[in-house]
Homo-oligomer: A and B are copies of this chain.
Amino acid sequence: MNTITIFAPATVANVSCGFDAMGFALETLGDKMTFTKTASKKITISKIEGAELPFDTDKNVAGVVAQAMLKDSNAAFGVNIEIYKNFKPGSGLGSSAASASGTAFAINQFLNNKYTNLELVKFAMLGEIAACGSAIADNVAAAIYGGFILVRSYEPLDIISIPTPKELMVTAIHPQIEVKTADARKVIPSKITLKTAIAQWANVGGLISGLHTENYDLIANSLVDYVAEPARKHLIPYFDEVKESSLKSGALGVGISGSGPTIFALSKGIETANKVAEAMQKTYSETGIKYEIHVSKINETGSKIITKWNIIV
């Protein structure tokens, strides 16, 4: 295997009540990346399409992750990377996480799956540090494990896979405005009342239980965020209107994807997910703000191989 092309999914972090602890991956939105083994023992990036990102491997998320893995494994080869971004950085859908996780997954293929998924998350987190300065695990864990994940603990890092109810669908609207992660972080309070915290963790418990039991009512009731959403929704134009119209169209719940500006909705079944997309479209079409809407199943496998082939050089 000399060359491998992989799919690295977009991801929704936080999932309303699960702020900084939960995430899930999308099936139909994500980046393509092609990795080719080279003899040079170096990482190179020969192509980046779909976004303005650095080719410098010390600054590019994929480059940072690939270098760390080749160094750690003492690999006798190098890798050239081509990046085809299908969704933009700054969307709140884990753009840097897709690059980092896709790279960790692909390099691990070249290393005969030397590393566990948990170890891949740790490598991918180095990419998140390069991208935004924080070792955040929720997006990268979702992109590597697939499905719903819970970051139960950071020290030691513990990622829990939570089952995905069969009919669960995602609708996401990405308003084409910029919300910087740093700005979105600033509005989050450093302290919250215990009463708020209890209400939030009761919903985390409800959401996790609802996912385990495919109880869509429980999932719907639990998709509430008392912490980040009230602080951040003002950064996202027409958030309340999108939420209201989506819920009216049958969405189980609506929240901010990561630090925004993407708004995600979860629905039971494709029909409802499409109705929610129409509602989002209708709300945003009147605003003059450009937007993209995605309807997707939950990705249950994480990053995956699209094609691989051997080229005799």
A197 close to B (CB within 8 Å):
yes
A230 close to B (CB within 8 Å):
no
> A215: nearest residue on chain B (CB-CB)?
B160
| Binding-face segment, A18-26, A30-38, A40-48 | A18-26
A201 close to B (CB within 8 Å):
yes
- Inter-chain contact A201/B206, CB cutoff 8 Å: no
Contact flag A221-B158 (CB < 8 Å), given A189-B194, A191-B194: yes
- Inter-chain contact B153/A209, CB cutoff 8 Å: no
A204 close to B (CB within 8 Å):
yes
Of A17, A151, A197, A205, most buried by chain B (CB within 10 Å of CB) is A205
Residues of B within 8 A of A190 (CB): 193-195
A184 close to B (CB within 8 Å):
no
Q: Of B194, B204, B221, which is within 8 A of A204 by CB?
A: B204
A95 close to B (CB within 8 Å):
no
Within 8 A of B (CB), among A270-301: none
A305 close to B (CB within 8 Å):
no
State the Cβ distance, A185 to closest chain B Cβ, in Å. 11
State the Cβ distance, A188 to closest chain B Cβ, in Å. 7
Residue-wise, chain A 1-36 has the 8 Å CB interface mask toward B (1 for contact) of 000000000000000011111100000000000000
Residue-wise, chain A 204-223 has the 8 Å CB interface mask toward B (1 for contact) of 11111100110000100110
Within 8 A of B (CB), among A172-194: 188-194
A200 close to B (CB within 8 Å):
yes
Could you say how many copies of this chain the assembly holds? 2
Q: Of B18, B150, B205, which is within 8 A of A21 by CB?
A: B205
Contact flag A152-B191 (CB < 8 Å), given A197-B197, A198-B20, A200-B197: no
Contact flag A153-B202 (CB < 8 Å), given A158-B221, A209-B212, A212-B212: yes
Residues of B within 8 A of A160 (CB): 205-206, 209, 218
A203 close to B (CB within 8 Å):
yes
Q: In the complex, A86→B269 CA distance in Å? A: 51
Q: In the complex, A160→B160 CA distance in Å? A: 21
Residues of B within 8 A of A197 (CB): 192, 197, 200-201, 227
- Inter-chain contact B205/A205, CB cutoff 8 Å: yes
- Inter-chain contact A152/B221, CB cutoff 8 Å: yes
- Inter-chain contact B150/A209, CB cutoff 8 Å: yes
- Inter-chain contact B191/A193, CB cutoff 8 Å: yes
Residues of B within 8 A of A222 (CB): 152
- Inter-chain contact B201/A17, CB cutoff 8 Å: yes
* Closest A-B pairs by Cβ, 9 of them: A201-B201, A152-B206, A197-B197, A212-B212, A21-B202, A201-B204, A208-B208, A150-B205, A205-B208
